[in-house]
Amino acid sequence: MRSDLRLTALVALALVAAACGGSSERKAPARQDLIVQSTTSVRDSGLLERLIAPEFQRRNPRWNLKFLAVGSGEAIANARAGQADVLIAHSPKAEKAFVADGFSAERTGRTVMWNDFVIVGPPDDPAGVRRVARRDAVGAMRAIAAAGRAGRAHFVSRGDESGTNAKELDLWGLAGVRRNVDNEPDAGGRAPAWYRKAGVGMADTLRLAQQCPFGGDCYTITDRGTLQQLVGNGAITGLPIVMDGQSAGAKGGEGLMLNVYNVYAISPSKYPKTRIAGARAFMDFLTSPQFQRGLERFPSRQRPGFFAAATPRVRLTRRPAASLAPGQSVTVAGRVESTVPAEPAPAGLPLELLGPEAGAPLARARAGEGGSFRLTARVDRSGELVLSAPRFGRLSALRVPVGRVSGP
């Protein structure tokens, strides 16, 4: 009898333990896919494999990153169709329409980084771009079109509605080249023989331009990050840069060849199944100080493929003295600037000067025209002073140490 009772008790305890264990497993969050539609250059530059995927997965094990790299036009179309949680793009006009149509969960996207577009071509440069338009993208396209009409060169277009393709088409327009209904160079209602549409991503377009199986020499436009990756791994050896560093005095101005990457969470009001928690975690990761610092050394500090752009740059013209007597006033002054060249300073940005102790800010101000600011406050304790700003438009929150004061 005692033996039966003991056995019954053991069985009951085992059942309770199993139930508790099952309950614990049910409470553990299941790993979920996070779908990111992105421009190909984030993948083709090596940034995805070497920096984004491993670091995001390490910090966010709950999410299984599913990265789909296509042209920006296709990525935006897929996001509009609900086939994404996150969008990364570099096609300003299409992105503006995407936000205006309510597909972004936030009123604007978040800027992550920038690089620039360059034009590459054969070493002997039959179009003479280096000679006549080394720092003039519009002049370079005119020279390539002239060489094409003369049978001396071809231009390889991505032809995929990507951000790079959109930039190329803008350049043809600025160059005054006659265009067809598709906005491409025109030869009697169709594209001329020297204009070749690849219909593939950036890396494959560069490989095709290098191979140039059309007879003759080929030019194309590319983002710098993808080009550096392929040159670095030996995939591209015969396409030197012929146009680089757009001049401020050239047609289109200094910012013409800038290539800015923005990230968006897909709006749950459009698609309730959007994994908004994961989307925000991914955006927070891309705009975090850690990731932004990683960009500075990718693939190397000497030749970065991208430049950090999530937060404004702070240039101080006045900072606190190192020694401070109790009750003494301090002044912090300077400028906040966009890290993207040729973009205006964030005038109106709210700024706060934070003291050594938590609590109300020591001083508040807004950046004036040109981004100038000045904050003055009395500091009663020694410690670190921090300049802080909230999210502002596409810019992420800012928190920068501006000095450390210590009592006498």
DSSP character at residue 104:
B
pTM tops 0.85, yes or no = yes
The reply to whether 313-405 shares the fold of 32-114+259-308 is no
User: What is the three-class DSSP state of 319?
Assistant: coil
In a 10 Å sphere around its CB, with 0-12 CB exposed, 13-18 middle and 19+ buried, how is residue 68 labelled?
Answer: middle
Comparing 52-56, 157-161, 327-331, 337-341, which segment has the lowest mean pLDDT?
Answer: 327-331
Mean pLDDT of the 248-277 span = 96
Q: What is the pLDDT of residue 8?
A: 43
Judge contact between 220 and 249, C-beta under 8 A: no
Judge contact between 394 and 109, C-beta under 8 A: yes
Token duo for residue 36: 């990111």
Identify which of 375, 377, 387, 369 has the alpha carbon closest to the alpha carbon of residue 311.
Answer: 387
Q: Report, in angstroms and rounded to the nearest whole number, the Rg of the chain calculated over CA atoms.
A: 27
Confidence of residue 358 (pLDDT cuts 50, 70, 90): confident
Mean pLDDT of the 375-400 span = 92
CATH of 116-257, one of 3.40.190.10, 3.40.50.620, 3.30.70.260, 3.40.50.300: 3.40.190.10
Q: What is the pLDDT of residue 249?
A: 95
Judge contact between 314 and 372, C-beta under 8 A: no
DSSP string, 273-318: T--HHHHHHHHHHHTSHHHHHHHTTSS-SSS-SSEE-SS-EEEEEE
Domain spans in the chain, listed from the N-terminal domain onward: 32-114+259-308, 116-257, 313-405
User: What is the three-class DSSP state of 236?
Assistant: coil
The architecture (CATH level 2) of 32-114+259-308 comes to: 3-Layer(aba) Sandwich (3.40)
CATH of 313-405, one of 2.60.40.10, 2.60.40.1120, 3.40.50.300, 2.60.200.20: 2.60.40.10
